[in-house]
Chain A
Amino acid sequence: MSNQALVDAEWALSHLDDAKVVFIEVDEDTEAYAGNHIRNAIALNWKTDLQDPIRRDFVNKEQFEALLSAKGVSNDDIVVLYGGNNNWFAAYAYWYFKLYGHGDVRLLDGGRKKWELDGRELVSEVPSRAATKYVAKDQDRSIRAFREDVLKAIGTQNLVDVRSPDEYAGRLLAPAHLPQEAARIGGHIPTAANIPWSKAANEDGSFKSIDELKALYESAGVDLKKDTIAYCRIGERSAHSWFVLHELLGVKNVSNYDGSWTEYGSLVGVPVAIGDEPGTA
């Protein structure tokens, strides 16, 4: 797939020693990097680095600047993100970099899984990068949705629930590999279409073709001329779907509701649908 936002393994291999290209691993399994990683890659921890330690929110602009400065990332670096599980958390971090206006950020297609399954080299040495003075931009609110935006979108704009069918229907509250925790109730936001994030990826973690991705949304009846809000449980899988829609398919007006079901499913007084159908406004 040819796209500015994606690089393949061959491109990566030819840039591993390029000082202006920073490879960053972001994994759900935060211990994976310590075991081994792509040569010269650094790591970000999705929780301790990217989330506020007290409030349920992201790191703010100043925290993001301090983080990237300490990690040795410059504003004019090409940042290449990769991770496990179809680049799930790498896509989440990609969205952060876009949210704070980084100039050139990309994903390694297939991420750590494809790299590992293809038998490519992983090392344990941790590189050192000199500290920088990274300057972030104000958050780009056009790609971030809040609960008020979601409530206004019911029945009028596209809501795309990217969780698994059982989570959408309310039979599960969390992905099947985690204890069933989080939101007070199960179900989905009325009128949301269920297009699981994983349908965008091949089994090896690489993205499907542009034609396949377009068909995925069109076949679900999503009118991409309307504004679209994607959500999941805590905004990570929906960052992956946001990447597909906004970065690969070039659809404008797509935002990620990072509060997602853990917030919505615990709100008092909002409409909720259960079962396999979208429900009505």
Chain B
Amino acid sequence: MVIHAFRVSVASTIATALAWFLVSAPVAGQEGGAGGAAGFRAAPIAGCPQISRLFWPCAEAKAATFNPARNPDGTPNMNGAWSPVTANGSQNIEDFAGDAFLGRQISIIVDPPDGKVPYLPQWADKRQDNWDHYIDPIGSCYFTGVPRQVYGPRGQAFIQAPGLFAIVSEFAHQYRTIPTDNSPHIGDSLRLYMGDSRGHWEGNTLVVDTTNLTDRTWLSISGHFHSEALHVTERFTLIDPDVILYETTLVDPKVFRQPWTMAMPLVRFEKGHEVWEEPCFESDHDLPFLLMEHKLWLGLNPPR
């Protein structure tokens, strides 16, 4: 099972893992898998506890009163680079004690209150099967999908232009464009790793609706999954000059018994931070080793 260590190393090369640590450590005070220190996720972010179930109500209260800096068109100014400091690079999204392969995590799921993904009974064992037998798709340098783009490895740059919001990931030079011009979704038969996102503003909140997704993406390194019926809603709200409350609700009646929601802070990188090129597939020398014991994930109904 040593191969699992490679799975994490594929998702983050040594250099970028170091960068991730440098970014996340000062804010989150996290110490990865061996954790257990009393200070794990103890430091507040924007005056709120950083553990999602506590952060969520506190941040929502701040969102209701915070008046953000604005673009000339009046929309809140979220231009810049942002880090999902409590998401641990999407290693896991539920509570996890940490082991030799994946770091400690406190659930970033806020609804349902037990912090667990509400799988339908027939899928109860599927995540473990994924972890045991498949390579996390981002380990093969495929797109993260949505919403994992926002809380996945490393940081994202947001670019706001009139009628469009764009998210550029450091991971594998991937991007997502989100028209905010009231245009309709693309045809339903078109399926995209990053789906088709359309956004609109509700007060100071950017609300993004994403459809047309595939079942080729996961929600975490640990194997959380969905079908092509996944429908994602995301909400981005500034609660402080340097902190965004990010909330995302996932609906997928083929896999989940109810809608469920994750919430977490996105913290601004230092001013002038540039998201640089990260070739992934172009320099992916680990894949042949991964494929000795694990399969490529080709969806819940893989082609034959």
* Chains A and B belong together in one complex: no
Give residues in B with beta carbon < 8 Å to A. Answer: none
On A, residues with C-beta under 8 Å from B are: none
